[in-house]
Amino acid sequence: MKTDVPPGMADRTVTLVASLAEGNWEQAREDFNARMSEALDAARLADGWARTASQVGNYEGMGEPFARRVADNIVAEIPVRFEAGEGTVRVVFDADGKVGGLWIRPADG
C-alpha cells in the first residue's frame, strides 16, 4: 500500500480555500471529480460558504495545510479562522487526484 503523498497536494488545498474565500466558486470547482461536480454546483458551494459565514463570521485567514494518505486517497486539512471562531477545511483527493470530498468543520473543542 502506498504511504507517500504526491507533491503539491497541500498547496492545492490552499488554492481551493483561497478560491472559496474570494468567492471564485467556479475556480474552486475546477478539480472536482464528476460526482462532486454533479453534487456541488457553484450556487450550492456559494450557499454553503455563506451559511458558514452566517454562523462564524467573515473569513480571516488560514494556517498551514497538512496532507496524508488514507488508502487510495489523499486527505488534506487546513485550519481556517473566521471572526467568531476557527475551523478546518478538509479536502479529499481521490486516486486520480481529483477533489472527491470537501468539508468545512468547526474546530474540535
Residue 44 neighbours by CB under 8 Å, 6+ apart: none
Residue 4 is assigned to a structural domain of this protein: no
Residue 31 is assigned to a structural domain of this protein: yes
Domain count, the chain: 1
Mean pLDDT by 10 residues, the chain (109 residues): 78 95 96 96 94 90 94 94 92 96 78
Residue 1 is assigned to a structural domain of this protein: no
Check residue 109 and give its pLDDT.
Answer: 46
Check residue 6 and give its pLDDT.
Answer: 85
Q: Name the residue range of residue 13's domain.
A: 9-106
Q: Which helix (DSSP H) or strand (DSSP E) does residue 102 occupy? A: strand 99-106
Check residue 2 and give its pLDDT.
Answer: 60
Check residue 3 and give its pLDDT.
Answer: 65
Question: Looking at residue 25, which CATH number applies to its domain?
Answer: 3.10.450.590
Residue 2 is assigned to a structural domain of this protein: no
**Statement: the pTM of the whole predicted model exceeds 0.85:** yes
